[in-house]
């Protein structure tokens, strides 16, 4: 039987915690951890929408993802000091934004903008999936903030969204890879799903060998298991009163 | 029966042409068109590898993707004038590079670098998949150039690589979307496959509604069909002598 | 008798081709080649003018010049990746814009803007002169596009404009230098002329030795010959119906 | 008697907490809070020093300060997205670095570099003084890390360093201003002191009215009180074993 | 008795000259020299204020500081070529702006902006203090220019402002350090004062050893002496008619 | 008879002054004025050459041109603040560098670099020609500095270089245009000549109407007159001992 470096079963998530209201100023905020990966998510509400959307009656949700320089084992240079965003940062920011928008009814949101900042305080694999999973909760709190102020035209959230990574490590499909697993994976896949169990994003990459259809199916199965558990946790945490 | 705007069958590619040797200076070059989408690909060989790879005995393949300002219906601003690369440019450049590297034996390449430039001269949907499909052919010619000069340590190409887009348009899965189809698609997926029919990248995005497992399977089926035909064309075009 | 590397006479242009309508989206477009130098020119029309010109009743014509990374013998780094435009790019963009504006009646153009993009696909000397010569034709087609839509207040083109390089190579004045000639020239001059044989720009540079007045006159004579032939070709190509 | 908005005495610090070892990867790390101001400090050790210091036998300590976008009441734009550092960021980074170096014996540090990252997670006034106070503790842990590996040439820390803000609010000198106090202060002063009670930096600014010598003395008195208490807390927290 | 490298007494300023009207176009301009330090100051008036201040009825004064590349012993790279401002430039620009605003009644200035450019032509220590001292005079001339055109709502200058550096060199407090003194100083302090002898900014930095309260007092005493003399010179030079 | 706005004859230069040694640190420096145009030129010597020229035994001369923000009638934004160089700045920097190199024997210069900074303190037309004319003198002093230290392999200056503008204003050719004349000129030409009366650069631009060969000849005649006088002045000023 295959054992993982941290003793988890192949289809087992790491310890996941989602702490709401971690920040005092943000309309919604969450400190989310997937094992040692820790992401601080702040959802900021502003009235109005970007210029290109004005007068449409539609709201807007967008996201920015970044990493603190010492989130990683070796310190990386600040992108603000370099003066430009790296490709990875761009790519993940766009992924988080798209994932959130997939469960938003922009009509019901009205001309309001929710900007979701995901800042990785510590990275141990799966930062983008932790960010998406936490971002949904922070967005939900930001939506509540809007609702309490009667600023909505209906229910803007059509479903929840969660995300998890799966991968092929040493020939074995595994759920929710930590950094050590991720860096030795042959195939790496990020799966973003809605609360009702459908796919929002599927991004699979062969790091070494191309993968066949049967392996792809195994990985999708694992992803469905993981997202379904995360959906459950999101429901529980949102059922509690915000501190 | 569903008909497409340009009369194609649902599982039909657009007219694909791959013209080798379009440039005089580049070690490999291709003008590739998928219908009205036209991409100029140049594969440039340089001896040596980036600093972080020196002394490893391994080669390096990387790619940059860009669009001419008037490739699109409306002119877009040059990224060189803006002073920074957009997220989309970064994302596609990284995708093209990863896709090519998946069929490269870096040991056999030796400490040589192949830089593949994909410049979209005209865009009508599917620019990234046309770029990958053409880039493989340009890379193959660059590898021949190295082989003729006895600069290789073996056969660096372990397989071919091709790519195609598939999507759900008006509820119907379709192959190789043109711009009109792409901009109204509910779900959009890019599939990159090796010549032996395995997956290198699978990137599916729900633009409107999340999609279920069954639709995902339909789209993967279509992608397999498309990539298999493109693989065939690549073989034919590479079987001809380079002009 | 002096022979040139490619067998041309001293006052002979390279093969010049101007293909109109190379792009589907642009209001005017041309693929122009001077020998192996190939420039793709797109003239884009937008209603309205830059802010500083609003309400003046005057139109605006401007240009941007750029080179694909593998246009040259050795690949050069993308300016979009470097994050800034080089001095040479700036200088040529400004030259092309000024040259076109010299034959434009901005009153007759009305408050419309024509942006002319000149992208060098392959460089073998004389890219800026090929760009200007092709840009005039693309601009003429863009003007026709405006005329067909009754968007003009008269005839905006007061004349045609063409350009050619001349230089002193190995002590001998020559017309339309290719890269090999250009890189060994003592003196290099770019001449931009109107269709009626007057000067729009004269830019002569002593690369090695300063040059005297008599040589300057010889070079101007050659330039007049070259521009006059290019003017003729522009007329012919514009006389044909646009494809 | 003057009361402060949060009920503190005029010479009273806010609740200060210093949590060591908040990050798993960094050689030294601290989550420091001055009331609702929370700064995450990571001290990263690298062998070697910047190029201009190589071969000197001397170490180097430097710092970078930044704020998460939603640290503040209203979200501020990321400096990485803007593509440049603001003046305030530069200024505080330099201040933190200078303050730390004032208590470092670079000879004893040997050719090692300690880079101290101070990232403000939440801002409520006094972020730079909290950063300096926490940074000393993180640096001390990084020094211990070096000592445990026998990488030092002696004791690099000649003393401790702490910092506090003082200001004139509504005509009254106060210690450790929160945001509300700070934004209405007439005079604002940041004081950085060594553990033995001497000054490392004194930066006083008249926000409204110039201030006279007598008021300057009152503010310096308050600053001495505050830094002396912070020095005490630093000692206590460093006396505990690192978790 | 301590002698200084240039024979000055410890509390003696260098030769200070302030030449008004050095530029033809600027509304106020000054060439100010403190010994060999020479700063060209231009105060530019524009009607209106930055967007964030519009409609407030208040004016705005701001400053930019820069150094010519060969102002220093060794040439430094241009910040325009580097593409970003250094931290020191930012810091001094902000200091000059704050110092000037401390003596401005923005109500009386009305919705006008005075932008003060301080360009160091030659640097020999004390460039920021020379800049502030000269900037006040240039600003006063710009205010006169506004008064002559009846564009003011009262007297915008509530006082004058001057600045001087003091420092501890070889254990001895000295006034107005030249470059040689500055670069060997243990403690370096810049003092900005209003004409009536109060403090606007006090910025003291321990370059080597922390400094105690008694030394701080000595340095403040010296600063008061220096600023008082500079105030006197400013009065004299402004009493003369502008050339 | 045509009179000019400032009473000059058509072929008359403005008052030209060239003050050597204006800066204390630079190896060569000049404050040059052409009427109200004032340019500060600093020639900086460094041992060694740029990387691409190392080991060639050849020296290098290059130049940078810039304008202070308030050199002009209306303040312009700093290029360092904008974060990029404008096209005009690039273009003139390149022109100045090329012009100087045309009279330099790089072999005789040995592996030394002369960097010439031309900073326009005040602009009233002809800033680039004043810069070139002054830059030659500053470069000559920098060469003397090298000669005095026995760092040369011969005489690096093969001739002198000067520059002047000519133009067609109101139908009349004129020498050395001031700003008012320049901004209303139909044709504007900058002429750079060697001391022996040959051309180094000829840059003529039709601002309104194209110009014919005969007018071009008239302008070249005027340019020869102007450069010849400037050459004389350069000789005189260099004959005097450097202050």
* CB contact (8 A) between residue E205 and residue D98: yes
Residue pairs spanning E and F at CB distance below 8 A: 86
Count of residues making up chain A: 243
Which residues of D are known binding-site members for phosphate? 88, 126-128
Task: Please compute the mean of the pLDDT values over residues B206-228 and round it to a whole number.
Answer: 95
**Do the strands B161-169 and B172-175 form a parallel or antiparallel pair, or are they unpaired?**
antiparallel
Please tell me if residue D218 touches chain E, with a CB cutoff of 8 Å.
no
- Strands C199-206 and F199-206, by their bridges, are antiparallel
CA distance F160 to chain C (A): 11
State the pLDDT at residue A5.
84
| Interface touch B46/C75, C-beta < 8 Å | yes
Which residue matches tokens 């510590």?
A122
CA distance E142 to E116: 10
Domain that holds residue B67: 16-239
Residue with tokens 């300690």: D114
Distance, in Å, from the CA atom of A117 to the CA atom of D40, rounded to the nearest integer, reads 17
Calpha distance B123→B118 (Å, rounded): 12
Please say whether the beta carbons of B42 and B28 come within 8 A: yes
Name which of F69, F73, F122 is nearest E117 (Cβ-Cβ).
F69
Residues A238 and F241: their CA atoms lie apart, in Å, by 85
Interchain CB distance below 8 Å, E68 and F122:
no
pLDDT on residue D162: 98
User: pLDDT of chain C along its 243 residues, tens only?
Assistant: 467 988 999 999 999 999 999 999 999 999 999 999 999 999 999 999 999 999 999 999 999 999 999 999 999 999 998 888 888 999 999 999 999 999 999 999 999 999 999 999 999 999 999 999 999 999 999 999 999 999 998 999 999 999 999 999 988 999 999 999 999 999 999 999 999 999 999 999 998 889 999 999 999 999 999 999 999 999 999 999 876
Percent of chain B with pLDDT over 90: 90
The alpha carbon of residue A61 is apart from the nearest alpha carbon of chain B, in Å, by: 14
Cross-chain residue pair E210–D203, CB shorter than 8 Å = no
As a whole number of Å, the CA-based R_g of chain B is 18
Contacts of D69 in chain A (CB under 8 A): 42, 44, 64, 117
Phi then psi dihedrals of residue D67, to 5 deg: -125, 135
CA–CA dist B222, B165 (Å, integer): 9
Q: In what order do the strands lie in the sheet with A28-34?
A: A16-20, A28-34, A37-47, A112-122, A60-67
Strand (E) or helix (H) holding D233: helix D213-239
- Can you tell me the mean pLDDT for D83-101? 93
**Position E232 confidence tier, pLDDT thresholds 50, 70, 90:** very high
| Interchain contact, B211 vs A203, CB within 8 Å | no
The pLDDT assigned to B126 comes to 97
User: Which residue matches tokens 């036998």?
Assistant: D57
Is E72 in contact with E124 (CB distance < 8 Å)?
Answer: no
Nearest to B85 among C81, C84, C115 (CB): C81
> Does residue C110 contact residue C153 with C-beta atoms inside 8 Å?
yes
Which tokens in the block code for residue C164?
């050619």
What is the interface size between A and D, counted as CB pairs within 8 Å? 86
Closest CA to E193 of E114, E106, E99, E105: E99
Q: Which of residues 86-115 of A touch B (CB under 8 A)?
A: 86-88, 90-91, 93-94, 98, 102
Please tell me if residue B235 touches chain A, with a CB cutoff of 8 Å: no
Mean pLDDT on D172-182: 95
F:10-39 residues touching chain E, CB 8 A cutoff: 23-26, 29, 36
Residues annotated within a binding site of D = 88, 126-128
DSSP states along chain E? ----TT---TT-PPPEEEEET-SSSSSEEEEEEETTEEEEEEEEEEES--GGGTTSS--EEEEEEEE-GGGSSS----HHHHTS--HHHHHHHHHHHHHHHTTB-HHHH-SEEEEEEEEEEE-SS-HHHHHHHHHHHHHHHHHHHHHHTT--SS--BSS-EEEEEEEEETTEEEES--HHHHHTEEEEEEEEEETTS-EEEEEEEESSS-B-HHHHHHHHHHHHHHHHHHHHHHHHHHHSPP-
Dist CA B143 CA B241 (whole Å):
14
Distances (CA, A) of B106 to A195, B112, B147: 42, 9, 14
| CATH code at position A68 | 3.30.230.70
Structure tokens that stand for B202 in this block = 């699978």
Higher-confidence residue of E207 and E25: namely: E25
Residue B33 has phi, psi (to 5 degrees) of -130, 135
Q: Which residues pair with C181 in a beta bridge?
A: none
Round to whole Å and give the CA distance between F95 and F129. Answer: 10
In whole angstroms, give the CA distance from residue B214 to residue A139.
Answer: 30
Q: What percent of chain B has pLDDT over 70?
A: 99
Q: Can you tell me the mean pLDDT for D192-206?
A: 97
pLDDT at C84: 83
- For every residue of F55-81, DSSP letters joined together read TSS--EEEEEEEE-GGGSSS----HHH
Q: Within a 10 A sphere around the Cβ of B66, how many other Cβ atoms?
A: 22
* Tally of domains within chain B: 1
Q: Which of E126, E223, E215 is nearest to E168 (CA)?
A: E215
Could you please report the per-residue DSSP string of D139-176? HHHHHHHHHHTT--SS--BSS-EEEEEEEEETTEEEES
Q: How many Cβ atoms are within 10 Å of D172's Cβ, its own excluded?
A: 12
* Distance between CA atoms of residues C160 and C141, nearest Å: 12
Q: Determine, for residues D198 and E205 on separate chains, whether the beta-carbon distance falls below 8 Å.
A: no
pLDDT tens digits, one per residue of D13-44: 999 999 999 999 999 999 999 999 999 999 99
Q: What is the pLDDT of residue B82?
A: 87
Residue A217 has what DSSP assignment? H
Q: How far away is chain A from the Cα of D44, in angstroms, using its nearest Cα?
A: 7
Is A110 labelled as part of a ligand binding site?
A: no
| pLDDT surpassing 70 at residue E2 | no
With respect to residue C7, please indicate whether it lies within any of the assigned structural domains: no
Residues of B in contact with A212 (CB under 8 A): 197-199
Average pLDDT over residues B45-63: 95
What is the pTM assigned to this prediction?
0.90
Instruction: Chain A: list its partners (3+ Cβ pairs within 8 Å).
Output: B, D
| Chain A interface disruption, residue of D19, D21, D66, D70, most A CBs within 10 A | D70
ipTM of this complex: 0.94
Mean pLDDT of chain E: 95
Distance from the Cα of E24 to chain D's closest Cα (Å) equals 31
| Residue D2 in domain | no
- Specify the higher pLDDT residue, F159 or E3: F159
Going residue by residue through chain A, which has 243 residues, state the pLDDT in tens, using 9 for 90 and above. Answer: 467 988 999 999 999 999 999 999 999 999 999 999 999 999 999 999 999 999 999 999 999 999 999 999 999 999 998 888 888 999 999 999 999 999 999 999 999 999 999 999 999 999 999 999 999 999 999 999 999 999 998 999 999 999 999 999 988 999 999 999 999 999 999 999 999 999 999 999 998 889 999 999 999 999 999 999 999 999 999 999 876
Asked if D135 is an interface residue toward chain A (Cβ–Cβ < 8 A), one would say no
F28, β-bridge pairs = F43
Residue A2 has a pLDDT of 60
CA distances from E153 to B36, E146, E157 (A): 65, 10, 12
Quote the minimal CA–CA distance from C200 to chain F in Å. 5
Do residues D49 and D58 lie in contact, with contact meaning Cβ atoms separated by under 8 Å?
yes
CA D242 to chain centroid = 20
Instruction: Tell me whether residues E199 and D200 touch, CB distance under 8 A.
Output: no
Question: Average pLDDT for residues E211-216, to the nearest whole number?
Answer: 95
B42 CB near a chain C CB, below 8 Å?
A: yes
Residues 6+ apart with CB under 8 A from D206: D186, D187, E102, E198, E199, E200, E201
Residue B145 phi, psi (nearest 5): -60, -45
Looking at residue E106, what is its pLDDT?
96
Question: Across chain C, which distance is largest between two alpha carbons, in Å?
Answer: 60
DSSP bridge partners of B34: B16, B37
Number of H helices, E strands in chain B: 6, 9
Subunit contact E89:F69, Cβ cutoff 8 A: no
Residue B61: enclosing H or E segment and its boundaries?
Answer: strand B60-67
Question: Quick one: pLDDT band at residue E9, thresholds 50, 70, 90?
Answer: very high
A180 touches D: beta carbon within 8 Å: no
CB contact under 8 A, A199 and B210: yes
Q: Which residues of chain F have pLDDT under 50?
A: 1
- C159 vs F: CB within 8 A: yes
Token couple for A242: 């915000």
Domain assignment present for residue E3? The answer is: no
Give C-chain residues touching B81 at CB under 8 angstroms: 64, 85
D118: distance to nearest CA of chain A, Å? 10
HSE-up (13 A, CA, CB side) for residue E197 = 8
| Interface contacts (A, B; CB < 8 Å) | 95
- Which residues neighbour E112 within 8 Å (Cβ) at sequence distance 6 or greater? E45, E46, E47, E48, E49, E59, E60, E146, E151, E152
C-alpha angle F148/F149/F154, rounded to 5°? Answer: 75
Backbone angles phi, psi at A102, to 5 degrees: -65, -20
Q: What is the pLDDT of residue F2?
A: 60
Could you say which of E90, E102, E210 has the minimum Cβ distance to residue D102? E210
Asked if the structure places residue F136 within a domain, the reply is yes
Max Cα-Cα span within chain D: 60
Give the pLDDT of residue A208.
82
Closest Cα in chain B, distance from residue C62 (Å): 13
Cross-chain residue pair F98–C205, CB shorter than 8 Å: yes
D237 touching chain A per CB within 8 A = no
Interchain pair C42, B69: CB under 8 A = yes
Backbone angles phi, psi at E14, to 5 degrees: -70, 170
Asked if residue F126 belongs to a known ligand binding site, the reply is yes
In a domain, A135, yes or no: yes
C-beta neighbour count of A52 within 10 angstroms: 7
Cα–Cα distance measured from residue C32 to residue C120, given in angstroms and rounded to the nearest whole number: 10
D90 to E93: CB separation less than 8 angstroms, yes or no? no
- CB within 8 Å of D111: residues ≥ 6 apart: D47, D48, D49, D53, D54, D56, D57, D58, D59
Nearest CB to C212 within list F159, F198, F204: F198
Cα-Cα-Cα-Cα dihedral sign, residues B122, B128, B134, B140? positive
CA C64 vs CA B38, C134, C135, E63: distances in Å: 21, 13, 11, 35
Residue C149 DSSP SS3: coil
| Residue C235 dihedral angles phi and psi, to the nearest 5° | -60, -45
For residue C2, the model assigns a pLDDT of: 60
């Amino acid at each position: 039987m295959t054992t993982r470096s941290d003793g988890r079963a192949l289809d087992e998530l790491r310890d996941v915690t989602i702490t709401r209201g971690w920040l005092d100023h943000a309309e919604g905020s969450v400190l989310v951890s997937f094992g040692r990966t820790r992401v601080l998510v702040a959802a900021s509400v502003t009235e109005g929408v970007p210029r290109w959307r004005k007068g449409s009656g539609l709201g807007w949700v967008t996201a920015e993802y970044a990493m603190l320089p010492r989130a990683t084992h070796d310190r990386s240079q600040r992108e603000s000091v370099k003066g430009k965003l790296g490709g990875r940062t761009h790519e993940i920011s766009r992924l988080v934004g798209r994932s959130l928008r997939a469960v938003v009814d922009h009509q019901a949101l009205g001309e309001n903008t929710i900007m979701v900042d995901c800042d990785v305080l510590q990275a141990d694999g799966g930062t983008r999936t932790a960010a998406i999973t936490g971002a949904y909760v922070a967005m939900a709190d930001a939506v509540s903030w809007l609702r309490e102020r009667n600023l909505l035209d209906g229910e803007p959230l059509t479903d929840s969204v969660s995300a998890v990574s799966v991968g092929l490590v040493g020939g074995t499909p595994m759920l929710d890879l930590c950094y050590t697993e991720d860096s030795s994976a042959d195939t790496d896949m990020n799966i973003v799903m809605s609360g009702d169990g459908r796919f929002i994003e599927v991004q699979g990459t062969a790091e070494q060998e191309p993968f066949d259809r049967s392996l792809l199916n195994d990985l999708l199965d694992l992803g469905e298991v993981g997202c379904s558990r995360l959906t459950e946790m999101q429901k529980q945490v949102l059922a509690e009163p915000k501190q």
